[in-house]
């Protein structure tokens, strides 16, 4: 059985379980369940704190896990990412009250509050800045107002939390993060059970970001139409009973679908339909 770590709380948990469900796996029904066996798919899910997942996976007791890239880096655990999942996207940044410092070089002698000591300590060492780091569990934005630190380093998505605290970002993002699938560093990459799991998740990612487009067009317009809808490999072209016309079927990126439909219409294509893709293996 493949043993997989899944975040049990926080920003990663809901989207991770939704993605696994879409990939055809059973998921726990209530939040007190710690382990769920899915015998049909030969998988066992362990619901763990997102911060701990890289540690379990690096120990070799679990085969793979879903966590955030920032949590993986912060843990220092011996695990590596093998698939990007596109949710829980964030940046990791320094912030201060306006006028505190121009950039990280100005943090010398200051105290930096963060929940991600591993990332901050490494970054300070890389840029050669001598600052103290104080660990807080969360709501780090308030640390400056309460005098615990002059600088914070935290996850930023929309920037709302920083704005609400009257803080501004300093310097470039320390890193960009998103949810990722991880495995122990150096684990064999040809394990068929892992490969099948990754293919299923890749299928979900494709199904979420592509639609199937069908339309009819005149043969003389086909080349230009196909240039608009080249598909992943090549579109399917079928003859229509009506002579001089063909039916075209092709996958297109969902975010471009409306623009492509307009362009096809202007080209003379008709009966242009898009349908959702529920699952796929490329
Ligand atoms: N507002 C956010 N938007 C996007 N991603 C976020 C956000 N907050 C945290 N993350 C991401 O979620 C992961 C952290 O998950 P974790 O469960 O530890 O924290 P959390 O979502 O802040 O939940 P908690 O309520 O337990 O603090 C990290 O990968 C982080 O980048
Ligand atoms: O840029 P924003 O869109 O405001 O998102 C970033 C905030 O979201 C998370 O906080 P969360 O709500 O999880 O609380 P926490 O600080 O206690 O973890 C993160 O720690 C930031 O504080
Ligand atoms: Mg949080």
Which residue minimizes the CA distance to atom 9 of ligand 1? 11
State whether the beta carbon of 282 lies less than 6 angstroms from ligand 2: no
Which residue minimizes the CA distance to atom 12 of ligand 2? 139
pTM for the model stands at 0.93
State whether the beta carbon of 91 lies less than 6 angstroms from ligand 2: no
- C-alpha 217/C-alpha 211 separation (Å) is 19
Alpha helices in the chain (DSSP H): 10-22, 53-59, 69-75, 117-127, 160-164, 192-209, 222-228, 257-267
The number of angstroms, rounded, from the C-alpha of 186 to the middle of its chain's C-alpha atoms is: 22
pLDDT at 189 over 90: no
pLDDT at 147: 96
Contact 112, 170 (CB under 8 A): no
- C-alpha 119/C-alpha 109 separation (Å) is 18
- ipTM for this model: 0.96
Query: Mind listing the pLDDT tens digit for each residue in 131-165?
Result: 999 999 999 999 999 999 999 999 999 999 999 99
Q: Which of 94, 113, 116, 138 to mutate to test the pocket of ligand 2 (most atoms within 8 A of CB)?
A: 138
In the chain, where are the structural domains located?
2-87+178-189, 90-176, 210-276
Contact 222, 246 (CB under 8 A): yes
CATH superfamily, with its number, for domain 90-176:
Periplasmic binding protein-like II (3.40.190.10)
Mean pLDDT value across the chain: 97
Tokens of 13: 């948990």
Query: Mind listing the pLDDT tens digit for each residue in 35-88?
Result: 999 999 999 999 999 999 999 999 999 999 999 999 999 999 999 999 999 999
Supply the DSSP symbol for 270. Answer: E
CATH superfamily, with its number, for domain 2-87+178-189:
Periplasmic binding protein-like II (3.40.190.10)
């Amino acid at each position: 059985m493949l043993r997989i770590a899944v975040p049990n709380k926080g920003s990663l948990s809901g989207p991770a379980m939704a993605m696994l469900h879409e990939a055809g796996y059973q998921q726990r029904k209530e939040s007190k369940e710690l382990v769920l066996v899915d015998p049909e798919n030969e998988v066992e899910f362990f619901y763990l704190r997102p911060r701990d997942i890289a540690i379990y996976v690096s120990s070799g007791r679990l085969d793979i896990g879903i966590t955030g890239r920032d949590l993986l880096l912060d843990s220092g655990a011996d695990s590596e990412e093998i698939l990007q999942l596109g949710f829980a996207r964030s940046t990791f940044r320094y912030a201060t009250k306006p006028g505190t410092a121009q950039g990280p070089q100005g943090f010398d002698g200051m105290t930096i509050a963060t929940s991600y000591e591993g990332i901050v300590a490494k970054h300070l060492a890389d840029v050669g800045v001598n600052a103290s780091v104080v660990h807080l569990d969360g709501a780090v934005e308030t640390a400056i107002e309460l005098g615990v630190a002059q600088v914070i380093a935290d996850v930023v998505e929309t920037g709302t939390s920083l704005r609400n605290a009257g803080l501004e970002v300093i310097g470039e993002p320390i890193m960009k993060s998103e949810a990722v699938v991880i495995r122990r560093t150096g684990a064999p990459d040809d394990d068929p059970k892992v490969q099948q799991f990754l293919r299923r998740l890749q299928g979900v990612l494709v199904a979420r970001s592509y639609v199937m487009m069908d339309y009819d067009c005149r043969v003389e317009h086909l080349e230009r139409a196909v240039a608009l809808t080249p598909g992943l490999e090549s579109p399917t072209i079928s003859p229509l009973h009506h002579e001089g016309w063909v039916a075209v079927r092709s996958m297109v990126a969902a975010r471009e679908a409306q623009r492509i439909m307009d362009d096809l219409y202007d080209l003379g294509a008709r009966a242009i339909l898009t349908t959702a893709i529920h699952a796929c293996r490329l």
